């Protein structure tokens, strides 16, 4: 039985640019062969059983030869396997995909070609450089600066396309000065705008802008490295108006995400979407409470109608409470006629996901504000009110004390507890701190305390380039109490609000990373 090969253009770098057809081919693959420029996130679309084979090459560095790649495809397809051959950009644009397709066809192997977003389209768009423009360019030429074995270097085709309004040169970094001289010799004005886009569509994207006459000098001064794309033409002048990806904001910022591992994925995805470079090091872990019998007693009380109000001070408290209910075959109906109070938007959303719309969400998203919300529900009189607080094992005493001072009866039940980072995560945090970070997301007081505990003296003094951003006032207070400065505090006390506050901070005149 013959197998099948999908030659997939995986896009220029940003994993979000993978096509749906490409993702489908990867999801059905038994073997994935991938190049050096394939983003690791793209490989996650492969099934668990899939074989992963790296066959990348960079310039003249030693790598898997094309002949070896061809025979790897042939061997696995001959074994009846479905193979996804992932190539950066588009498989048929300077990617040797046509050669691989010809080889497969010659050996009777069925294949398909899945087009991808070429670097010529993706990297230029992310750099804010349109290939065409009614005022500047009505023709585009794509050319490579590297030729196949045996071809002379001056056969690159640059002279033939020198008159095109926009010229995109693939693999042109090494011969940049020579190529620019070739364009001038072909009649191109040395003052024509030119740009080099390195790591296009990646968070590390860098763009150097100049002219044909000086772009090589500018690239050398900036120490630009491959992979890079060269663009020549008046359209380069539009970049400053259309620049959106690598401008001010979070692009290129190295951001520490220290939430628990099972909570960080959405934060990481949001950072990646904004061009940041997230580093995940969980500084807290959530585990079951020390006294599960207290949780069982609280559930019995709920079912017996022993409470008037249930208050949640975190989304974690919601999750652990409902996990405990589910373990006993119960659900939201166990809350009965209790009024429900949530400390803030994330806790509110966690309840709504479980079919509960809270009666009150205080405007001030501090735990102590929950007491005021409960008082409002009771018409300002807390006397005789029976309150169940479902929260962490180590929590502040101000909230239950305020309720009791008002006359309420409070059952303060620990439905979960937090533990610190593992030894491996401690080592990773210390290494990251030494290498340098731009921002740290303080999503809870526990994160702030563990940051101080792990880094110790290495924290002081904190590099002025590091921004500590707190998700809300309670976390900011905890951070300051632990000896940390807080540079940014979210107005909306959610992860989205935290990222928005950090983004605004950088856009208010803080220079972008080099």
For 66-91, how does the pLDDT look when each residue is reduced to its tens digit (9 = 90+)?
A: 999 999 999 999 999 999 999 999 99
Tokens (6 digits) for 221: 């001064």
Whether the Cβ atoms of residue 8 and residue 91 lie closer than 8 Å to each other:
yes
- Residue 45's φ and ψ, nearest 5 degrees, are -75, -15
Q: Tell me, what's the pLDDT at 512?
A: 46
Whether the Cβ atoms of residue 315 and residue 350 lie closer than 8 Å to each other:
yes
Give every residue of the chain whose pLDDT is below 70, as ranges: 1, 58-62, 147-156, 365-367, 509-514
Q: Tell me, what's the pLDDT at 151?
A: 54
Tokens (6 digits) for 56: 């990348």
Q: Tell me, what's the pLDDT at 6?
A: 98
The CATH number of 121-242 is: 3.30.950.10
Q: Tell me, what's the pLDDT at 294?
A: 95
Q: Tell me, what's the pLDDT at 148?
A: 57
Per annotation, catalytic residue among 30, 35, 90, 246: 35
Examine the residue annotation and report whether 35 is marked as an active-site residue of this protein: yes
Q: Tell me, what's the pLDDT at 152?
A: 52
- CATH 3.40.50.10090 range(s) for the chain read 254-284+421-507, 287-418
Examine the residue annotation and report whether 151 is marked as an active-site residue of this protein: no
- Residue 101's φ and ψ, nearest 5 degrees, are -65, -40
Strand bridging mode 166-170 / 228-232: antiparallel
Q: Residue 20, Cβ neighbours under 10 Å: how many?
A: 8
Q: Tell me, what's the pLDDT at 60?
A: 52
Q: Tell me, what's the pLDDT at 369?
A: 86
Q: Tell me, what's the pLDDT at 436?
A: 92
Kindly report the CATH class assigned to 254-284+421-507: alpha beta
- CATH 3.40.1010.10 range(s) for the chain read 4-116
Per annotation, catalytic residue among 57, 165, 234, 477: 57
Asked if CATH classification 3.20.10.10 holds for the domain at 287-418, the reply, yes or no, is no
Residues 6+ apart with CB under 8 A from 155: 147
Cα pseudo-dihedral 44, 47, 51, 55, rounded to 10: -40
The structural architecture, per CATH, of the domain 4-116 is 3-Layer(aba) Sandwich (3.40)
- CATH 3.30.950.10 range(s) for the chain read 121-242
């Amino acid at each position: 039985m013959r197998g099948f090969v999908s030659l997939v253009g995986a896009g220029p770098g940003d994993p979000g640019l993978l096509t749906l057809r490409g993702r489908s081919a990867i999801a059905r693959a038994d073997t994935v062969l991938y190049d050096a420029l394939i983003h690791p996130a793209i490989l996650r679309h492969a099934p668990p059983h899939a074989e992963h084979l790296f066959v990348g090459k960079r310039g003249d560095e030693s790598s898997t030869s094309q002949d070896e790649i061809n025979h790897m495809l042939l061997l696995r397809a001959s074994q009846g396997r479905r193979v996804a051959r992932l190539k950066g950009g588009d498989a048929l644009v300077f990617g040797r995909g046509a050669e691989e397709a010809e080889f497969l066809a010659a050996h009777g192997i069925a294949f398909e070609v899945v087009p991808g977003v070429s670097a010529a389209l993706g990297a230029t768009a992310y750099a804010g450089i349109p290939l065409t423009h009614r005022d500047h360019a009505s023709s585009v030429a794509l050319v490579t600066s590297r030729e196949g074995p045996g071809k002379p270097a001056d056969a690159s085709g640059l002279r033939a396309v020198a008159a095109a309004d926009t010229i995109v040169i693939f693999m042109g970094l090494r011969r940049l000065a020579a190529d620019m001289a070739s364009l001038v010799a072909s009649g191109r004005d040395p003052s024509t705008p030119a740009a080099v886009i390195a790591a296009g569509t990646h968070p590390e994207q860098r763009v150097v802008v100049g002219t044909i006459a000086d772009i090589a000098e500018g690239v050398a001064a900036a120490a630009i490295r491959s992979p890079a794309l060269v663009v020549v033409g008046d359209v380069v002048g539009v970049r400053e108006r259309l620049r959106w990806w690598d401008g001010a904001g979070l692009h290129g910022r190295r951001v520490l995400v220290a939430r628990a591992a099972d909570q960080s994925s959405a934060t990481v995805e949001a950072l990646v979407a904004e061009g940041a470079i997230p580093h995940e090091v969980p500084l807290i872990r959530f585990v079951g409470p020390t006294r599960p019998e207290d949780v069982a007693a609280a559930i019995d009380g709920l079912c017996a109608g022993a409470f008037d109000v249930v208050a949640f001070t975190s989304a974690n408290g919601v999750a652990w409470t409902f996990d405990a209910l589910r373990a006993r075959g119960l659900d939201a109906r166990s809350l009965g006629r209790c009024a429900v109070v949530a400390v803030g938007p994330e806790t509110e959303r966690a309840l709504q996901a479980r079919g509960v719309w809270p009666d009150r969400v205080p405007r001030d998203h501090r735990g102590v504000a929950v007491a005021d919300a409960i008082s409002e529900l009771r018409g300002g009189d807390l006397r005789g009110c029976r309150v169940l607080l479902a929260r962490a094992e180590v929590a502040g005493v101000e909230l239950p004390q305020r309720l009791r001072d008002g006359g309420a009866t409070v059952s303060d039940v620990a439905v979960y507890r937090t533990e610190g980072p593992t030894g491996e995560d401690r080592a990773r945090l210390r290494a990251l701190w030494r290498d340098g970070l731009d921002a740290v997301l303080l999503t809870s007081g526990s994160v702030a305390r563990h940051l101080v505990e792990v880094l110790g003296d290495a924290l002081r003094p904190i590099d002025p380039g590091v921004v500590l951003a707190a998700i809300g006032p309670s976390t900011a207070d905890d951070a300051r109490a632990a000896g940390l400065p807080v540079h940014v505090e979210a107005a909306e006390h959610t992860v989205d609000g935290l990222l928005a506050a950090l983004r605004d901070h950088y856009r208010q005149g803080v220079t972008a990373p080099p």
